[in-house]
Amino acid sequence: MSSQMMNRETERPPRKRRVGLVIVLVLVLILGIGVANRLGLFAGGGSASAAGAPGEMPPMPVDVDTARVQPMADALRATGRIEAVQSIDLMPDEGGRITEILFREGQTVAAGTALIRIDDAMLRAEAAQAEADRDLARQQLERVRRLHADNASSPADLERAEATARGADAAFDLLQLRIDRATVRAPFAGVVGQRLISMGDYVTTATPLLTLQTVDPQRVVLDVSERHAGELSPGQAVEFTVAAQPDRVFQAEVEFIDPVVQEANRMIVVKARAPNRDRLLKPGMFIDARLATEMRNNAVVVSEDAIQPLRTANVVWAVVDGKASRRVVELGARRPGVVEILSGVEAGEVVVVGGLERMAEGMPLMPRSRVTGAVPDTAS
C-alpha cells in the first residue's frame, strides 16, 4: 500500500512539466503567427501593409496662402527717437508776480494765445508819467518852432527841443511794450505741457513757466552708420514702429541729413517729418525704422509664416495638384508680415503657412485658406 502511494507521488512532477511545456509551445506559436503577419508573410499581413503605404495616406489639412505681387523696397535699418518740431520752456519777458493763469495743461493753443499775466501796475504808473513827459516835450517843441520861425531862437534850441520830444516818445513806447509783454503769449501753435508755476509766484526773466510743443507733424531723428552715407538722400521714405503701437507702421519723409559724422559713435543724424494727426507719436518715444533705398514695384511676396529656415537654405512648401512640393528660395527685403521671394516661387502659387514641420515631398494635402477657409485652386 505504501509502495503504490510512493509511485504516484513520483509520477506527478513529470506530468506538471509536460503541461507547462505544452503551454509554452502554444504561446510561441501564437507569437510567431503575429510576427509573420507583421512581416507580411501571410496574405492578410500583406494587404494590411499595403493599406498603410504613404501613397494611400489620407490628405493632411494645412493652412495656405497665395504668393502675390506688391511693391517692396530695399531698406536700411536704424533706430532713433521722436522729437517735436518746435518745443520750448516758455519764460517771461518781464519779472513780477503772476496774477492770472489762462491755460490748462494739455490744452491746444493757437499762436498768440494769452497764457499768463504778470502784475503790470508799476509799469502802467511809469507809462502814465512817461505820457505826461511826452506831452510836455511836444508842447515845448511847438513853442521853439514858433520862436524859430520869428527868428527868436537859435537853430540849436530847435534841435534840442526836437531831440527831447523824440526821447519822450521813445520812453512812452518802451513802457507800452513792456506792459504788453507782461502778458505771456504762445509763440507758436501747439499743445501746452506741464505747468511749472502757480498763482502768486514771483518770477524773473529766467523762470520757466510752462512747456509748449507742436504735435502734428512730429520729427523722426535717426542715427545711421557712416558706411551708409552714400545711400542717404532728402525725400527718402521712412517706415517705423513704436513700442506703444507695435502693430502699426508709421510713415515719414527725410528732410535733413547732417553733413557732419559724429566722432563719438561714427553716426550720421537723419531727420524726417512724420504726420501725427492721431497724436499717437509722443516726443521721446524710441523707434525702429527702415529707410527705403531701392523700390521694386513688382516684387513677389509670401507670408513670413511660409518660410522654413534650415541650416543651409530657406524652404517654402508649395501645393501643386494637391501635393507638397519643396522649393528652395532666395529671400529679399522684408516688411512686417511678408517676405520678398527673389527665386523659387512665382506669383499666384499656393504655399503652406501652417504645419511646415510635418511636410514631405509628394505628401497629399488638403489646403484651406488661412483667411476664408476656402480650398484654393492648386493645379500647376
Domain boundaries, the chain: 2-51, 60-72+297-369, 76-85+214-295, 92-212
pLDDT at 41 (0 to 100): 42
Side by side, the strands of the sheet bearing 114-118 are: 183-185, 114-118, 96-101, 202-203
Helix (H, G, I), strand (E, B), or coil: what is residue 280?
coil
pLDDT at 27 (0 to 100): 63
Instruction: Kindly state the average pLDDT of the residues 245-251.
Output: 89
pLDDT for 38-80, tens place per residue? Answer: 444 444 444 443 344 445 578 888 889 999 998 887 778 889 9
How many residues comprise the chain? 380
Question: Is beta strand 237-242 parallel, antiparallel or unpaired with respect to 202-203?
Answer: unpaired
Query: In Å, what is the CA distance from 343 to each residue of 211, 300, 347, 380?
Result: 54, 9, 11, 17
Inform me whether the pLDDT recorded for 309 exceeds 80. Answer: yes
Q: Does domain 60-72+297-369 fall into CATH 2.40.420.20?
A: yes
CB atoms within 10 A of CB 8: 8
Question: Is beta strand 60-66 parallel, antiparallel or unpaired with respect to 365-369?
Answer: parallel
pLDDT at 221 (0 to 100): 95
What are the E-state strand segments in 308-362? Answer: 308-309, 314-320, 323-335, 338-343, 350-352
Residue 36: band (very low, low, confident or very high) from pLDDT cuts 50, 70, 90: very low
Domain 76-85+214-295 fold? Elongation Factor Tu (Ef-tu); domain 3 (2.40.30)
Cβ atoms 120, 97 nearer than 8 A = no
Rounded to the nearest integer, the mean pLDDT of the chain is: 83
Find where cell 489762462 sits: 102
- Of the listed ranges 125-139, 187-201, 254-268, 283-297, the least confidently predicted one is 283-297
Cβ atoms 343, 297 nearer than 8 A = no
Residue 111: band (very low, low, confident or very high) from pLDDT cuts 50, 70, 90: very high
The 3-class secondary structure across 157-194, one letter per residue, is HHHHHHHHHHHHHHHHHHHHHHHHHCEEECCCCEEEEE
Inform me whether the pLDDT recorded for 264 exceeds 50. Answer: yes
Cis peptide before 13 (omega within 30 of 0): no
Instruction: Kindly state the average pLDDT of the residues 328-351.
Output: 88
Cβ atoms 380, 338 nearer than 8 A = no
Q: Does domain 92-212 fall into CATH 1.10.3720.10?
A: no
